[in-house]
Chains A and B, each alone.
Chain A
């Protein structure tokens, strides 16, 4: 009879190193999220110029330059925060982390104002025409990811105020920053598709 006690068949001297399961999982998550966004982007591109009635993108869309700069620079600040964290500079970590949160919040606020302007001044809602349908769903899908990111960031910040974020959480911090970079990268695509090609 074979039992597990006899199993260490041969002890190998070589190092046995495997990637962290958390990293693999986050990469997989990003992969499947990419698939999700691809379909919405494909729908947006396919329906460009197919709206039968106005308002049309060129009439109502304005380049969200400031909020784009904010979101993209939040990728830099989250990196700085991470670096400070890895060097045990807690104060600096909290500062950069807070800046990241502020930038993300600014981006969301700007999106909210833009939507308000489109809805109340331009009369564009999700049901107005195809442009409205595709625009709000693609930008909204991205914004919902920003909201999730903002929740994660805030959670870490609150915990760090209480001193609960320690070296043990290094990899989790890194994973959140990976997710955040992904959200930013998606925005680059959305920006190009909606505001550059789509206008």
Chain B
């Protein structure tokens, strides 16, 4: 009896001292802890990479500014882009998938818990290695620092002759490590979904979140090897004297672009589909209606996944492909807009006639819908080849993809944070601070990125470290930078909110949103084993069935 009591106490407070708690995190293979570690670490990297963006915007706020030296500026935009994609985007989706997928499909852990821990540590050390480049990249030779070749690292800029020191090597090696992490995490999620669903959870009864995670993780498996392969080729070029991207010996710099974007375009969808996943869970719950057109949503996502692997060269219209090539990639890009439009239509259809509750998760979803729609429209504009020729590598493009990734991806993730935070901590995020976060971020976002389209239209190229006065770019750039500061204030609200509410927030209970998926059936936070007895489901909304035994969903299946 006594020993049992001790065990119970241990479970609730796994060590009181900092070292003991740290040790607990290092040795854990629990999907929930790892999920939170993924998201927490990603938020840390978000702050660092966000500060870099802020520095970039301060440099560009006024013409002829000297805040950042040109070479420092190059490193900043490279590190900002690389970190945001690989150290923020990818781990957040890995974290969400880790935490939520086993709960949603009613199982106790991932299929391979140790592999799961391995994936996290690969990501963490890959990320640290990338930042270590500031110290390590000069090496013995003394020149070189953090990578400064841009996040897509075009050849021949990355060749030995043009990229001295080890900056590019750190870029390659750290991303290879995080790619291994992402790959094993993707394999793990897929194995979990296909092999560990609870009784009655057929594929077409899975929450849409799980479906979209399946599609995203399949895309990771198909797209990431393209990046890894081309990075290995680049290493061979740099260290073994290979000629893959060496135009002097018959190699091709353009092939790097092809290989990179074969990865790079699907990557955009790898990031945005998890945002769709959050929205697809939140919108129905806060409209008090089941999702409109579930099978169509699944089909549209699979379609997006399939089409998005054949559109990569729309990043390369100005490279000089044949007109057949240009036409093909323009048309396939237009085609992606169709399933994407279907999804937007279905979310609106879910809200239509619903009893909408304007809680924080829902508000962020509304922001997401609005911003993602605009991002999609500028995306279609950029798929028009002549328009693209005019605006490629301009701030219009920068504004477009930040619209998808900040206005789309990040807003979707914020919605998810507000929605699932009570599950992970047992406490609600503070509502007032949350609204401050939303409005600051919303206003800052639109100040920055709506405005940013215009210097692009006026001809301002991306990646310039400064510009002369008198071109009509000054006011626009100033407003853009101002918006960045306001966004930063918004993110600060979120961080404070997350930290403060962990211990002091309002107690949430198991099911604060009156939701329908299985993660809300267990306690908040869930116990180590998730469910005492594994659930059995008969419809897509098991908790609805439980709460409304007189009118369960499965009667209509």
Contacts and interface: CB of A to CB of B under 8 A. Distances in A.
Nearest to A127: B241
A114 B144 CA distance: 39
B251 A47 contact: yes
Contacts of B252: 46-47, 50
Interface stretch (A1-9, A83-91, A161-169, A189-197): A1-9
B543 interface: yes
Nearest to B220: A32
7 contacts: A8-B535, A12-B538, A16-B199, A24-B194, A28-B186, A127-B241, A137-B236
B510 A47 contact: no
B521 A137 contact: no
Nearest to B545: A9
B225 A32 contact: yes
A124 B183 CA distance: 35
Interface stretch (A34-42, A58-66, A99-107, A148-156): A34-42
A2 B546 contact: yes
B200 interface: yes
B243 interface: yes
Contact of B233 (A1, A20, A25, A43): A43
Given A5-B532, A21-B111, A126 B225 contact: no
Chain B at the A interface: mostly helix, strand, loop or mixed? helix
B264 to A, nearest CB: 13
B75 interface: no
Nearest to B193: A24
A21 B242 contact: no
A6 B183 contact: no
A3 B196 contact: no
A137 B546 CA distance: 58
A10 B197 CA distance: 16
Interface stretch (A68-76, A115-123, A128-136, A177-185): A128-136
A25 B230 contact: no
A126 B194 contact: no
B233 A9 contact: no
Please tell me the size bucket of the interface on A: 35 or more
A3 B111 CA distance: 24
Most interface-central of A9, A29, A31, A43 (chain B CB within 10 A): A9
A8 B226 CA distance: 44
Contacts of A5: 532-533
Contact of A137 (B218, B233, B538): B233
B183 A32 contact: yes
B225 A35 contact: yes
A53 B246 CA distance: 14
B204 interface: no
A133 B252 CA distance: 13
Interface of A: 1-12, 16, 18-22, 24-25, 28-29, 31-33, 35-36, 38-40, 43, 46-47, 50-53, 126-127, 129-130, 133-134, 137
A55 to B, nearest CB: 14
B531 interface: yes
B425 interface: no
A43 B228 CA distance: 14
B222 interface: yes
A189 to B, nearest CB: 15
B128 interface: no
B307 interface: no
B222 A9 contact: no
B191 A21 contact: yes
B187 A28 contact: yes
A127 B536 contact: no
Contacts of A137: 232-233, 236, 242
B509 interface: yes
A25 B249 contact: no
B542 interface: yes
Nearest to B196: A21
A167 to B, nearest CB: 21
B233 A46 contact: no
B236 A12 contact: no
Contact of B255 (A8, A10, A43, A52): A43
A126 B188 contact: no
Contacts of A18: 194-197
Contacts of A46: 252, 255
A195 B224 CA distance: 28
B381 interface: no
Contact of A8 (B222, B240, B533): B533
